[in-house]
């Protein structure tokens, strides 16, 4: 039986299926109290810039109703509020919702079965969680379902730079330094071994763009930031 405190297997393998869902939920429950601080350290403070870019590219008017999917502690909810939008957050982790700091309504829920009526939202955002979903295609289909025609989606996640030098630098920081920082600064160093490795769950760029299209989004654009180490996927509900 897998140790409840581990998200990686004994040989470092990534979990799959229902095992992944439970392992990810348990992991985020554990890291929630120090999650914001670790995000700032790992991103060198650039996570704020990435979130603002996602909201800008969402391109919705003030007052638009926006779901922050996998909202965590509410960083994106706060930024959406600051931009004049009306967010609601959903996350599978009770620990994250308990640690959240936002005035937005928060609901515990699964991205594969959103507790939102069909066509009830103007936008969906998601910050660095695509790789944590068990079935990304199902999640994208749910996002399309809850958006009105013309609604917008904007999803951030990690990426591997195309240029060799930048790819090497990314590996040194993300796969080398981040686990070390996790051992020093986090209550759960295992989580910061998992997070860099979890990018392996993400489809290749072309396949990821195709997945958004297959879910019913048009005008899909994939852009990168910070030397290609972060990607942003946007699209419009048909």
Residue 144, classed as helix, strand or coil, is helix
Kindly list the distances between the CA atom of residue 117 and the CA atoms of 2, 81, 100, 135, in Å, as whole numbers in the listed order: 37, 22, 24, 21
Half-sphere exposure in the Cβ direction for 13 (13 Å, CA):
7
> Is residue 1's pLDDT more than 70?
no
For residues 101 and 74, is the Cβ–Cβ distance under 8 A? yes
pLDDT of residue 18: 92
78-83 contact pairs (CB < 8 A, 24+): 78/102, 78/104, 79/48, 79/51, 79/52, 79/55, 80/55, 80/104, 80/125, 83/55
**Pairing, β 147-158 against β 230-237:** antiparallel
Q: Which residue has the higher pLDDT, 1 or 67?
A: 67
Rounded CA-CA distance 4/188 in Å is: 12
pLDDT of residue 10: 66
> In the predicted model, what is the mean pLDDT of the chain?
92
DSSP symbol at 174? I
Rounded CA-CA distance 166/225 in Å is: 12
For residue 153, the tally of other CB atoms under 10 A from its CB is: 26
**Who's near 131: CB < 8 A, 6+ residues apart?**
157, 158, 198, 199, 200, 201, 202
The residues pairing with 4 across neighbouring beta strands, listed in sequence order, are: none
Indicate the range of 16-25, 113-122, 155-164, 178-187 predicted with least confidence.
Answer: 178-187
pLDDT band at 11 (very low <50, low <70, confident <90, very high): low
> Is residue 13's pLDDT more than 90?
no
What dotted CATH number matches 17-237? 3.40.50.150
> Is residue 2's pLDDT more than 50?
no
pLDDT of residue 73: 95
The pTM of the full predicted model, rounded to 2 decimals, is 0.92
For 133-169, the pLDDT digits (tens) are 999 999 999 999 999 999 999 999 999 998 888 888 8
For 156-214, the pLDDT digits (tens) are 999 999 888 888 887 888 778 888 888 887 878 888 888 888 999 999 999 999 999 99
pLDDT of residue 224: 97
For residues 113 and 135, is the Cβ–Cβ distance under 8 A? no
Q: 18, 57, 32, 47: which is closest to 108 by C-alpha?
A: 32
Task: Report which listed range, 44-48, 54-58, 157-161, is most confident.
Answer: 54-58
* Biggest CA pair distance of the chain: 50
């Amino acid at each position: 039986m897998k140790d409840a405190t581990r998200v990686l297997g004994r040989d470092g393998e990534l979990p799959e299926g229902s095992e992944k869902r439970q392992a990810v939920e348990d992991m985020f429950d554990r890291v929630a109290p120090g999650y914001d601080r670790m995000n700032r350290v790992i991103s060198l403070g650039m996570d704020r810039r990435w979130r603002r870019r996602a909201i800008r590219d969402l391109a919705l008017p003030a007052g638009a109703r926006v779901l922050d999917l996998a909202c965590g502690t509410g960083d994106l909810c706060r930024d959406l509020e600051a931009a004049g939008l009306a967010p609601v957050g959903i996350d599978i982790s009770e620990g994250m919702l308990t640690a959240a700091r936002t005035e937005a309504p928060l609901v515990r829920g699964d991205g594969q079965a959103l507790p939102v009526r069909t066509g009830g939202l103007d936008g969906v955002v998601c910050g660095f969680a695509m790789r944590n979903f068990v079935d990304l295609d199902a999640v994208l289909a749910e996002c399309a379902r809850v958006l009105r025609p013309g609604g917008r989606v904007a999803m951030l996640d990690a990426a591997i730079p195309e240029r060799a030098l930048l790819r090497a630098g990314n590996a040194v920081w993300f796969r080398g330094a981040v686990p070390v920082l996790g051992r020093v600064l986090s209550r759960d160093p295992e989580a910061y071994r998992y997070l860099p490795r979890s990018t392996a769950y993400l489809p290749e760029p072309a396949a990821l763009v195709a997945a958004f299209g297959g879910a019913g989004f048009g005008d899909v654009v994939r852009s990168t930031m910070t030397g290609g180490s972060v990607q942003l996927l946007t699209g419009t509900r048909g």
